[in-house]
Copies of this chain bind each other. A is one copy, B any other.
Amino acid sequence: MEGHVERRKKGRPGYDLERLLLVAATTFTERGYDGTSMEDLARTLGITKSAIYHHVSGKDELLRLATDRALDGLTAAVGEAATVEGRAIDRLEYVVRRSVEVLVDELPFVTLLLRVRGNTPVERHAISRRREIDHAISALVAQAEAEGDVRPDVDPALTARLLFGMVNSLVEWYRPSRNGAGKAELADAICKIAFTGLRQV
């Protein structure tokens, strides 16, 4: 059973697990993890609880799979950036663009991830993976500053926080169906404002 789940984790999960994860992520975000029962999920999905237990061992594993989905995407963005030749500021811009893509593609999962505050092992694990990503981005900003490409009058950690505060705000207002802006257009707008400012020069 465990091995079955482990194997599934390698690639994209099957359709049923995919739909289960999507409903779990959305419901955890709306009602909170503690406020959501397996019964709630089964009712929303129109399936039995035992059909859910066919896929996962429990609510805990649903939270782990859902947050991992977001974290895997964001970690990959940081990892790919590290292979970009050239200056640190170019790697930083690469991370911003890829992160915007991940946020748009995995919106319900990133939204859930950004709300995780709790104290269960799964939540602590998610928070610690987020922290690794934050550190990597902060280090990129510091390197870009050392290379003379980022303004030296704002602390690199604060710059990284503000930059990703702007990026992450997407989950608050971006709705794929409503906003005309596509991923590339959004990434362009964010890079223009973050890197060169909103002031016309």
Contact of A165 among B32, B150, B166 (CB under 8 A): B166
Kindly list chain B residues whose C-beta atoms are within 8 Å of the C-beta of A200: 145, 148-152
Number of interface residues of A (CB under 8 A): 45
**Closest approach, in angstroms, between the C-beta of A91 and any C-beta of chain B?**
14
Per-residue 0/1 for A133-161: is the Cβ within 8 Å of any B Cβ (1 yes, 0 no)? 00000000100010011111111001101
How far does the alpha carbon of A35 sit from the alpha carbon of B153 in the complex, in Å? Answer: 43
Taking CB atoms and an 8 Å cut-off, the chain A residues in 169-201 that contact chain B are 169-170, 172-173, 181, 186, 189-190, 192-201
Question: Is the CB–CB distance between A89 and B199 below 8 Å?
Answer: yes
**Closest approach, in angstroms, between the C-beta of A198 and any C-beta of chain B?**
5
Kindly list chain B residues whose C-beta atoms are within 8 Å of the C-beta of A30: 117
Question: Is the CB–CB distance between A198 and B194 below 8 Å?
Answer: yes
Question: Is the CB–CB distance between B34 and A193 below 8 Å?
Answer: no
Tally of this chain's copies: 2
Among A155, A194, A197, the one with the most B-chain Cβ atoms within 10 Å of its Cβ is A197
Query: A interface vs B, CB < 8 Å?
Result: 30-32, 34-35, 89, 114, 117, 141, 145, 148-155, 158-159, 161-166, 168-170, 172-173, 181, 186, 189-190, 192-201
20 contacts between A and B (CB under 8 A): A30-B117, A31-B32, A31-B34, A32-B32, A32-B35, A148-B200, A151-B198, A151-B199, A154-B189, A158-B186, A161-B169, A162-B166, A163-B198, A165-B165, A165-B169, A165-B170, A193-B197, A194-B197, A194-B198, A196-B199
